[in-house]
Amino acid sequence: MKTFVFISSLLASWFGAPSAPTQQELTPEVLVQRRIAADKYASSNKSSLTYYAKQPTRLLPLAGNSTVPDGTETVFTIVRNKQNKILLITETPTSQSGDWHIEYSQYFDDKGNRFAFKRSASFFNSGCTPGVAHETRVRYYDPSYKSVKSTYTLTDERNKPLTKGKCTFPYNYSYTLSNTVSDYLKRNKLPATL
């Protein structure tokens, strides 16, 4: 029963209840649950998603299930909660070759501050498996943006762990974190109001 009450109050605080956890209550475990709740919300509330295709000279809004236009460099997926606040932005660079798929997901609290970041990559040519390698790193941050927890996995397509030292990572591209939603939108030239 205690677990149900904890999870219920956590979800209520994340999705708009009057009282949010205090700074002392933001343990790494609470941050993990917030990220999981944001992912579940995004997957079960497709109408809360807004998509944009970034091309060299323009930004195009996309319909939810439309084909990504040729010349697209990056697709942005923006998730808003029921109070219309951005809780998650996923940036997906496009691979012309199809040899890799990378997602950079930044998670924001109800005040627009980043509390988690997830980088997921699936790629060929790793040298440690004949098929696809899957790499995921998640970092969690306190209110001063200091990393308080980090997880890392590297597996093959059968979910068997791979040894990082035996792999090469030919598709490790640089990325920039934003501390706030407004910084992210400005840096990526995304509209502030959607």
Instruction: For the chain, give the DSSP string.
Output: -HHHHHHHHHHHHHTT-S-PPPGGG--HHHHHHHHHHHHHHHHH-GGGEEEEEE-SS-EEEE-TTPPPPTT--EEEEEEE-TTS-EEEEEEEE--SSSSEEEEEEEEE-TTSBEEEEEEEEEES--SS-SS-EEEEEEEEE-TT--EEEEEEEEEETT--B--GGG---TT-------SBHHHHHHHTT--S--
- Please give the pLDDT value at position 13: 45
Predicted pLDDT of residue 9: 42
- The reported pLDDT for the residue numbered 172 is 85
The tens digit of pLDDT for each residue in 63-82 reads: 876 788 999 999 999 999 99
Q: Is the pLDDT of residue 1 over 50?
A: no
User: pTM for this one?
Assistant: 0.85
Q: What are 15-44's pLDDT values in tens digits?
A: 443 345 555 578 999 999 999 999 999 999
Residue 4 has pLDDT above 80, yes or no: no
Q: Please compute, for residue 140, the number of CA atoms within 13 A of its CA located in the half-sphere on the CB side.
A: 16
Domain ranges in the chain are 2-187
Lowest-pLDDT range of 65-74, 103-112, 140-149, 153-162: 65-74
Question: Would the pLDDT of 94 be above 80?
Answer: yes
- pLDDT on residue 194: 59
Instruction: Give the pLDDT confidence score for residue 2 in this predicted structure.
Output: 41
Q: What is the pLDDT of residues 157-176, one digit of tens each?
A: 999 999 999 999 988 888 99
